[in-house]
Each structure stands twice: as C-alpha cells, then as structure tokens.
Structure 1
Amino acid sequence: MAFVVGNIPRGSHVVLRDGEGAQKVFFLGASCVDLRMGKYGPIPADSVLGVPYGATLRKVAGGKWERLRGGRTELTAEEAAEVIEDNRNLAQDNTAQKMTPEEVKALKGKLGGQEVVDALASSSTTFASKTKFAQEKYLKKKAQKHVQQVVLLRPTVMELCETYMKQSRNKVCGLRFDYLSSLLCHADVRSGARYFLLDCAAGLVTGAMAQQLAGCGEIFRVFRGGCPEKALAELDMVEADRKTVRQLPLEVLLSADPLSLEWLKDPFEGQPAVPDAEIEAQMALRYEARLNRTKQRRADLEALKARPVDGLIIVAGDEDPDLASEALQTGLAMLIPGGRVVVYGQHLQPVAALQGSWRASGQFVDVRLEQLFTREYQVLPQRTHPHMAAESQLCEGYILSASKVVDHSSDAPDRAEPVEQAGPRKRRRQ
C-alpha cells in the first residue's frame, strides 16, 4: 500500500469535511477549477493544490480561502480541572444577545466568519459568566453556523467508507468500516494469497483487499451487469496494487463454453483480413486495444482456473440474493480445503438459514455468525460520554464465516493395516 507523499498534487483525489461533519470526495483533474461543498461558496482548486493532507482551509474576509495555522480550540486537562462553577443561574430567555439578526447579516458581509463569532461572543451578556465548558460549546455552535471551513483528508479506506455511508448507505450495502475490517480479518486477507470476491459495495471491499495484498497476490472479482469501480479510482492506488484485481463476469464462469461469449470472443473473428497499410491509424489503434483487452480477459480466466483460491468473500445487497447464491456456489467449488469463506448480509434470516445449512452439511468447521456493536464517544476532559444522536445504527449487518473441510472417510480402508510390534527395548549404556 502506497500513499501520495507530500502535498496534494494535481490528478489525485481529496476528501473534504465541513464544519457539520459532512464529507465529499473530489477529483483534482486538469479541468477542475472550483470545488463546491454544501452551502459553502466555490472553493478554488488552487487553494487545495500544494496543501498537505489534514490541513484546514477557512474562508476569510474578502471571500478568499486560506489555510488555518495553529490555534487551540479545546481545553486541556489542567484547565478543565479548575472548572467548579455551573450555569444554573443563567437565564434562557433569548435576551442575552444584544445584536439583531439584521446587524449579524450586515456584519457577515464585511468580516470573516471567525470575526463574526468573536463579535457575537462579545455582545452576549451571559458569555463571560458561563463556565469554560459552556463557552467552548457556545463558540463551536456559532462557528458551525457562521464559519466556512473544510478539512482536507486523504482518501483512505476508512474515510471513503464513512463518506459513502453518509451519502448513500444502500450503494455500499450498509457496510460500516468496522464490518469491513472484520471481513478482512475473518477472510485472512494477506499478501501472496488468492481470493474469490463478489463486491456489490462500489468496489470498497476490492480496494481494501488490494491495499492489503500490497501488489503480491490475486483478487478475482466476479460481477453481473455493471462492475462499479468508484472506490478503486478514488483510493489513488499505485499500479502494482491495481494489477492484483482481475474482474470476471459470473456468466463466463458458469458457461460450458466461455470462449463463445461476447466478453471473450476475438474481435477479429469472422472479419476479412485487411492489410495494415489500408487501415487508418486511428482504427488500427482501436483494434489493437480491443485485441489486448480480450487477451487480458482470457489470461484472467486462465489464472483463476489454474489453481484453487485461498479465500471466498461475498458482499451483496438486498437486491442481489440470486447473484450472491450463484457466486457463493461457484466460489466454494474453487476454494481450497481449509480456506476461509465469509458472507456479509444486512438481514438475519437469510444469513442464519445459510449458517444452519453449513453446520448440517459437515463441509465446514468454525461456523460463526456475528453482529458488531459500535458506538461513537465524545472524548473531552470531564465530558466523555457516548454521542446522544448517532448517525448510524448501533448494530447493522451480520457476518457469517467458516472454514471449508473435505471428508475423506469414505476413501479410507475398512481396517487399518496391522502395526509391527517393536522389539525389546535396549538398555542405554551408562
């Protein structure tokens, strides 16, 4: 796994997170001029290029976006230990703020967001009498409303997983980052191994496995219809990691004559031979690209059939039960004895039924059905507690894992051969 070292370059991806926690992925291509994030104004791409990952950009007076440097926004443990007062005597009648909404709107047109927050704090009659905790909470709340700032994040697997979950959880089958890490652990994804994969989560599982292999190993990803590669493109992986992914349609594996299918058919089959001199240069390049693509597809199919795979992973949504069942049966036939098989599902009943059939078949051991519990916490001095309003469900999805075994008892002889008795044991010389 390799990351872009240094500052954010042109031609890479970046994840932007605003003050309210919303995230969005952008591609900084040659035609990218502005980045639009929620209700914020356009962010010039030049303000993002050359800035290191993890930096914060803030909109200042004049509409310019500048990098925020330094500054401490949270209390230290020593400062928090000194807080002994409370806010029980403060009136909550909305009369503490002296500035009117019209004055605040006019102030936002002249000054930057942070200056507006400072003006609101100085105009509040109760701000000075609040505790340090309450003051910090007040400033954060006003900053979310009036300060326009974004954090530039590296497009890692975890950041993309959280971004997709916030934007459209159905497109990634409701796969949280903790479930994704558990899938990789149960499937024993390691460098140098071969895996059979059905990934209906926008390529998120494929990208995570490719980074785990680090350029050594093979991932045979099967699909039907379209094969989304959104996560593979946005992870900015190196070419060695991308080459570990080999994509094959499931129909090719189920067909008795796969070479007769259009996906593997020779593009020049049935066409009259034409001398190269009579073919235009553009058409010649197009034919050559199609021929190379067909050769690569046939090589991927031969590589899959060359030897068994070490692991089988199935991640499918509610709309693809038949696809998941066919991919599971096809992958089990190619799985090596002792190989790991992992299935992720969003609902309990189909996964529990599959668990029962595996245990009754006698072809699997260590059959486990798990559900993960995750809860986010606010970690601050003297204020550490779970988030009251969680964006995701605490328990979401199920993971079924097992190891494939082969029963050779029918091939064993009825009676074991007699074992020759050993002769008298010689005494050791003292």
Structure 2
Amino acid sequence: MAIIQLGDYIVIQRQKYTKLQKFGSLDATATLGKEHLELKSLLDQPYGSTFKMCVKESKAGKRGAQRQHSLELCTENELRSIRDVLNISSSGADNRDISDNGEAQSLKSSDIEQMREECNESSKIIEKLVENSKTFHNRTEYSQDKYLLKKEKKYFEFVQIRQPTIRLMADIFHRQDPDKIMGIRVDTLSQIISYSGISGFGNYLLYESGTNGLLPAAMLNSMGAGTEATLVHMHPGNVPQKQALLALKLPFEQQQRCISVNLYSVLREFYQGDKPEATKSSGDEEKVEAVTETEVTAEEQSEGFEPSSKKVKLESPNSNKAHQRWQVENKRAAALMNEKFDSLVMAAKEHPSSILQALLPLVKPSRPVVIFGTCKELLQEIYMDLKTTGKVTNLHLTSNWMRTYQILPNRTHPEVNMSGNSGYLLTGYTLK
C-alpha cells in the first residue's frame, strides 16, 4: 500500500472537488475555498485515507470568514449518508405548494454562522437546518436529496487524500485552466495514447509546446516500469514542463527513459554534432534553421518558459552542471534519432507544418503519426500536404465530443454544463 511521504504530490478530494497539492514540508497547508488545511497529520498515512476537518480558529479576511483546520484520521462509521444520520422517513407527493420566497428557513444567517463556529459536524448543522425548515418535509424525496446534497456540499467536513493518476490530473488541469494543457480533455488524451501505439518496447517521439507535463507523463505511464521503451520528449523552451511527471512519482529507472530536449538544439546536434567542420553541408544547416522561427514562437507562447530572442539560451551562465546535462541528453536523443522512432506524437500551439517536416523523416515506415491541434484549419492544411506528398497514408481528421451523464434512478440525463470541444486529431501511418 502506498504511503504519503514528504515531497509527494497529493490529490485532496472534498466530495466531487479535487485539487493537486505538493506536500513539501510539515508546515505545508492547502486551501479549499475559505478552508485552510494543515497537512502535517498526513505523513505516513496510506493513500485513500479520509480525514475530518477540525476547526482550530476562524478569522475575518477579505473574502469573509477564513477557517483554519487540522486534519484527523476518521473511520468508516463517521461517513454515513446525511439521510441515514437524520433518519428522514417522510416526504411530500409534489412541490406545487412550495414557494421560494426566502421565508422557509426560520434560522438567521448569524445563527447559522454561530452554530458553525460552535459545532464542526456537518450532520448536526444540517439537522438543525432541517428542523427549522418550514417546507422540507413537504418536498418530494428527490427534492429533499437535492437540498441535503446542497447543504452537505457547503458544510461537509471530510477530505480524502488520493494518489495522483493521469485521469485525476487531466480532470484537475482541464477544470482549473484548460489553456495550460491546450484544452486536452481526458477522452482526447486516451485517444492520443491509443492511436500512438505506445507499448513497453520501442522508441517513441513526442513534441509538445506546453501541457504541464501531462502528455509525456501519460506516454511514460503507458510504457510501464521495467520495460525497454524510451521516450524522446522535444519541447520549445529551455526547461520542460514536468509537473504531471513529478506528481506521478514514477520509479527512477522509468523517469530516466524520458529524454527531454530542446527541439532546435537537438536537431543541430543530430545534423551537425559529430561531423567535422569541413564535412558540414549547407543542407544540414537549412534543415535546422527551417524550424528556428517556429521554435522561438513556441517558446514565447508556452507557459513557464523563459522568453528568448532569435537564439535559444540553453542553460544559465552559472551552471556548468546544467550545461553538461543538456548536452548529454542531446547526444542520447540524437543516437535514438539515428535509429528512428516507432511513432510520432505532436501537440503544438504554433503552426505544426515546419516541425512536422523536420520530425517525420525520423519515423520508421508503417508507424503511427498523431497530431493534436486546437485549430482544425491548420490540421486541414497538414492533411492536404501529406495527401499530396504521399508520406503518410490512412489519414483521418477527427473531432472529439463527449457528453457527461448524471446517472440516478428515474432521473438520468446529460449534465447541464459540459465542455463543447477538446481539439482535433490528425492520424495516419508513415510510408517508406
């Protein structure tokens, strides 16, 4: 069973809300709305444990009352449903005689707030709200459930600590800020992995210009631990985005099989690295320079990367160790580029044409190519170019659309709010 340790990334779940948080020290805290949680009691507890939020103090802030909580490990007996705790047995036939005039609750807001300060158990607070509601027992059972869920969401005092997974992180990133992961939804991510043919053997090539490390993490996770597969992760900036990779806490051996390199510098290493000056051709230089402008644009657009001018700065001036590290990674990647790859995956914020032209010759024949984009017109251009040149066959341009359903007895229906689009995929197979 996995145990929570210092330095881990954890997922804090309160009912349906989830948040990715780093447990960096014993003084670490997390914020859930107006609730501030001390995390020190999580140390050495198993993932999946549920903790009770115990109020330590409350103070007024700019956004209302802010409550400081310690976390206390709780048992299954404390997690019974509100309806079971309150022992509600009666309900109305319909809601036609109930009017929403704001007078149904006899308790004032000040009374509720005082009760919340004195009592930390959501069941007791909701019990008082039900007792002082003039209309609760006249509501239908379904209406009562909605009322209880709404109040439980507000006063719920339990959090569960979960271990980060690809699906959890994809959902969290997409809900918080879809632009930081190029709007890649979990269903689109699963199709990218499926079309790419990732397995525990072979060498795979990925170019992405900023997904918080979600794409390389998903591909590396699909390769598995203790395998022979290797991923070359090309990016446009000085430093790759790796939050999702770090959050997965993969074995060191598995992490080492992800080689993260700057696109422009690794192409220069591949075409010119080991050649004597006299044998370097102008054609090699042109191949590298062809993606320079695109690479600079991508770096400036990517979240978390340092801005650059026409030349890419590859290391800080005071870091000889960093200088040596990227050179070693470039040589490792260039060696695999000579062997060629078993698939190519691209997720580019910029126009992918010139980058695709540079990377496509590095893929073996009859291997999958997957290109993700947020703009279908750009992928339509790529589609026509590949059709014309005949370098890729079985081309398909698709758009993903997923509907989330509420599944409840006698009331199953699509969710009212859902994301309309999660980008476009262009897929095909290389030809010799």
TM-score over 0.5 for the pair: yes
Amino acid aligned to 1:93: N
| 1:342 matched to 2:350 | no
Larger relative CO (CA 8 A, sep 6+): 1 or 2? 1
Residue 69 (1) aligns with residue 101 (2)? no
Q: Return the letter of the residue paired with 2:194.
A: C
Contact 2:52–2:73 (CA under 8 A) maintained in structure 1: yes
Aligned match for 2:18, one of 23, 27, 37: 23
Would the aligned equivalents of 1:264 and 1:297 in 2 still touch at CA under 8 Å? no
Asked if structure 1 preserves the Cα contact closer than 8 Å seen for 2:39 and 2:71, the reply is no
Mapping 1:184-199, distance limit 5 Å = 184-199=193-208
1:93 Cα shift?
2.1
What amino acid sits opposite 1:125 in the alignment?
K
Q: Is 2:229 the partner of 1:235?
A: no
Q: Does 1:214 align with 2:224?
A: yes
User: Which digits, 9 at most, give the CA deviation of each residue in 1:270-312, with x for residues without a partner?
Assistant: xxxxxxxxxxxxx9xx86x568636632541342233110100
**For the structure 1 residues 174 and 263, does the alpha-carbon distance in structure 2 shift closer, same or farther, using more than 3 Å as the test?**
same
Distance in structure 1 (CA, Å) of the matches to 2:247 and 2:26: 15
What is residue 308 of structure 1 aligned with on the other side?
340
What SS does the corresponding residue of 2:342 show, helix, strand or coil?
A: strand
Give the CA deviation at 1:61: 5.6
Match of residue 427 from structure 2: 401
Q: CA deviation at 1:329?
A: 1.6
Pairing partner for 1:368 from 396, 404, 407: 396
Is this contact kept in 2: 1:56–1:152, CA < 8 A? yes
CA shift, 1:10, in A, is: 2.5
2:112 to 97, 104, 112: 104
Partner AA of 1:174 in structure 2: G
Q: Secondary structure at the match of 1:219?
A: strand
Distance (Å, rounded) in 2 between the aligned partners of 1:128 and 1:74? 15
The answer for unaligned runs of 5 or more in structure 2 is 57-68, 85-89, 278-310
* CA distance in structure 2 between the aligned counterparts of 1:398 and 1:122, rounded to whole angstroms: 53
* Structure 2 SS opposite 1:252: helix
Q: 1:379 matched to which residue of 2?
A: 407
- Give, in angstroms, the shift of residue 328 of structure 1: 1.4
Residue in structure 2 matched with residue 428 of structure 1 by the alignment = none
Whole-angstrom distance in 1 between the partners of 2:31 and 2:187: 27
When normalised by structure 1's length, the TM-score is 0.78
Q: Does 1:94 align with 2:102?
A: yes
Matched AA of 2:31:
M
TM-score (norm 2): 0.78
**Which segment drifts farther, 292-301 or 169-178?**
292-301
Corresponding residue SS for 1:87: coil
Q: What does 1:19-418 correspond to in 2, within 5 Å?
A: 19=15, 21-29=16-24, 31-60=25-54, 63-70=69-76, 71-73=79-81, 85-114=93-122, 115-199=124-208, 200-215=210-225, 216=227, 217-226=229-238, 227-255=240-268, 256-258=271-273, 289=321, 293=325, 296-317=328-349, 320-321=350-351, 324-390=352-418, 393-406=419-432
Q: Distance in 1 between matches of 2:91 and 2:353?
A: 60
| Deviation (angstroms), 1:178 | 0.6
Residue deviations 1:21-69 (CA, integer Å, cap 9, x gap): 443222222x341322232333122232333333333324655433443
Structure 1 pair 131–290 and aligned structure 2 pair: CA distance change class (3 A): closer
CA 264–59 in structure 1, closer or farther in 2 if over 3 Å, else same: closer
What SS class does the counterpart of residue 366 from structure 2 fall into?
Answer: strand
1:263 and 1:33, CA in 2 relative to 1: closer, same or farther beyond 3 A? Answer: same
RMSD of equivalent CA atoms: 3.0
Instruction: Give the letter aligned to residue 257 of structure 1.
Output: Q
Q: Deviations over 1:139-185 (max 9, x none)?
A: 11112223344332221011111111122211111111111110011
Aligned partner of residue 364 in structure 2, secondary structure = strand
Q: Which moved more, 1:397-406 or 1:226-235?
A: 226-235
Aligned to 1:93, the other structure's residue is in SS state coil
Give the % identical residues: 22
Q: Which runs of 5+ in 1 are unaligned?
A: 77-81, 268-282, 407-430
CA distance in 2, matches of 1:140, 1:248: 48
- The whole-number CA distance in structure 2 between the counterparts of 1:61 and 1:229 is 35
Query: What SS class does the counterpart of residue 207 from structure 2 fall into?
Result: strand
Amino acid corresponding to residue 424 of structure 2 in structure 1 = Y
- Whichever residue aligns with residue 325 of structure 1, its letter is S
Q: CA deviation at 1:97?
A: 1.0
**2:4 corresponds to 1:8:** yes
Report the number of matched residues: 371
**Partners of 1:341 and 1:399 in 2: CA distance:** 10
1:22–1:166: 8 Å Cα contact kept in structure 2? no
Amino acid at match of 1:308: K
**1:339-393 superposed Cα distances (whole Å, 9 cap, x missing partner):** 1110000111111121122222222211011111111111122222111122xx2
Distance 1:335 1:186 in 2: 15
Report if the CA contact (8 A) 2:53-2:159 is conserved: no
Q: Which shows bigger deviation, 219-228 or 58-67?
A: 58-67
Does the C-alpha gap of structure 1 residues 250 and 404 become closer, same or farther in structure 2, counting only changes over 3 Å? same
Instruction: Specify the code of the residue in structure 2 equivalent to 1:96.
Output: A
- Paired with 2:212 and 2:168, the residues of 1 have a C-alpha distance of 14
